[in-house]
Amino acid sequence: MRDNRVITNPPGLHDPRPLGYSHVVSAAGETVYLAGQYASDADGQVAVEGFADQVELSLEHLVRALAAVGLGVENVVRLGSFVKDHDAEKLEILGRALHAVWGERLPVQTLSGVATLALPGMLVEIDAVAVRPAP
């Protein structure tokens, strides 16, 4: 699948890439919305406890959801990350994980620190918007 995104980090704004995102992404085509993915097992229960493990499994689920509709990470233009009890250490862990998936072609992202998530034990949830390239 071709990368249909144009990524822009304008001069005069800080370099967001070390934090795991880009300032602007534009793409043409069909918009695809992905629900928040978390570290779930086959029954929807939280499968792992640690923050880093939950981030990794959440991203694996996101990649699987993309593949189910014929897309890849190169089609993602926006992420929404929701982090329970957010702090600098969690930001670093999330940034490393996002770089492992997207390299330097990072989508835009909004990270929200939250007091709680949908299920007991959930520490992170990640949703996405992707764009299927126009034919």
In a domain, 87, yes or no: yes
Closest to 132 (Cα-Cα) out of 29, 1, 35: 29
Which residue would you say has higher pLDDT here, 4 or 29? 29
Check if the beta carbon of residue 8 is closer than 8 Å to that of residue 24: yes
For residue 117, being part of any structural domain is answered with yes
Please tell me the predicted confidence (pLDDT) of residue 4: 80
Tell me the residue range of the domain where 39 lies: 6-133
Domain for residue 124, yes or no? yes
Say yes or no to pLDDT of 132 above 60. Answer: yes
Domain assignment present for 14? yes
* pLDDT of res. 109: 96
Q: What's 2's DSSP letter?
A: -
Q: How far apart are CA 76 and CA 68, in angstroms?
A: 14
Q: How many structural domains is the chain composed of?
A: 1
**Does any domain span residue 77?**
yes
Give a yes or no: residue 1 inside a domain.
no
Confidence at 75, pLDDT banded by 50, 70, 90:
very high
pLDDT one-digit tens code per residue, 79-130: 999 999 999 999 999 999 999 999 999 999 999 999 999 999 999 999 999 9
Cβ atoms of residues 32 and 131 within 8 Å: yes
Using the 8-state DSSP alphabet, how is residue 75 labeled? G
pLDDT for residue 19: 84
pLDDT at 134: 83
Write down the mean pLDDT value for the chain.
94
For position 82, which CATH number holds? 3.30.1330.40
51 in any annotated domain: yes
CB 25 within 8 A of CB 108: yes
Does residue 85 form part of some domain? yes
| Overall average pLDDT of the 58-67 stretch | 96
